[in-house]
Amino acid sequence: MIELELQTMTMENRQIKTVVRQIKEEYPEDCWLNEPLAPHTSYQVGGPADAFFKPTSIDDLEQVVRLCLHHKVPFYVLGKGANILVHDDGFRGVVITLERCCHQLFHEGNLLYVGSGCTVQELVEYCENHGLAGLDYLSGIPGTVGGALRMNAGAFVGEIGDRVLRIDALNEKGQRVQIHNEEAQFGYRRADGLVNKILLGCWLIVEPGDPRRLKEAREDYLRRRAEKQPLEYPSCGSVFKRPPGDYAGRLIEAAGCKGLRVGGAMVSPKHANFIVNVENATARDIYELIVLVQEKVYQQFQVWLELEVKLVGFPESDCKRVEKPDYV
């Protein structure tokens, strides 16, 4: 059994090396080998990716995605790394970023198109500068529009899914498709209809607004975030989803976890649903602190906190360890 597993791993490694070499040869200026992922994530942790690819066109993106699919090589589409935790050993396969090929931003009447590689902040500022209302509550949300769509990011009075008309994407076969709002199946910090899709951009519904008032609203949202969140330290934002009828931060604080540390990772004393990198934390430090918080909250309140942060490059055993157990 062990010998068979080793043979399988050897074959997978060969496939990865073959595909990585092919991408590098085809796109020498757009592909980096053994690229550290820590600088590409808000947590500032994580090991290298075998290949880090920045396509300059959607055609190039399609070609590489189909190559990976054909050879069954793992790939991961990375935004600004604002809601992920990358393993200390990195990611075996190809990491793709869309900041070059999906950076369109324009509007036609009450419809606005934004590429998934644009940051949420770029979107909010564009709306402010052009007098377009309806998205100002996204102010201060880190990361890209693609990441915001995938997790249905929101704050204060709404979520991005409230404004989506349709989404351009690549499906599981690497083919271009359009996904309408109802097909995306937006819910609280989820969009089940977007799973296993590569998001290219979307049309959003906006309305005319006063740029001055939009600026005031943006500044107010940013001020409220700064008052409540530990923005002075690297973090992923909220670590856990809000449980039904309660708040993760309240439960974590009530369980006595504020200030709790594992290595260089700490539960923020300012906002308990933030785990911050205070002293050169490793991904393992952060992961073990997540597990510890889940256990303490469950022991005291019989509530299992589900992750909002996504684990990247972690073995299946680690992923299962933080999932909701059958007995809950």
Instruction: List the catalytic residues.
Output: 189, 238, 308
Q: What single DSSP character describes residue 262?
A: E
HSE, CB side, 13 Å, CA atoms: give it for residue 99: 16
Sign of the Cα torsion 146, 152, 157, 162 reads positive
Give the number of other Cβ atoms within 10 Å of residue 204's Cβ. 25
Q: Report the side by side order of strands in the sheet with 105-108.
A: 105-108, 111-115, 198-205, 164-170, 176-180
Nearest to 77 by CA among 52, 48, 46, 42: 52
Residue 231 in contact with residue 141, Cβ under 8 Å? no
Measured in whole angstroms, the distance separating CA 265 from the mean position of its chain's CA atoms is 20
Whole-number Cα distances in Å, 57 to 17, 30, 101, 288 = 24, 11, 5, 39
- Integer Cα distance of 319 and 321 in angstroms: 5
Three-state DSSP class for 261?
strand
Residue 238 in contact with residue 274, Cβ under 8 Å? yes
Enumerate residues 6+ apart whose C-beta is below 8 A from 74.
16, 68, 91, 92, 93, 94
H/E run at residue 45: none
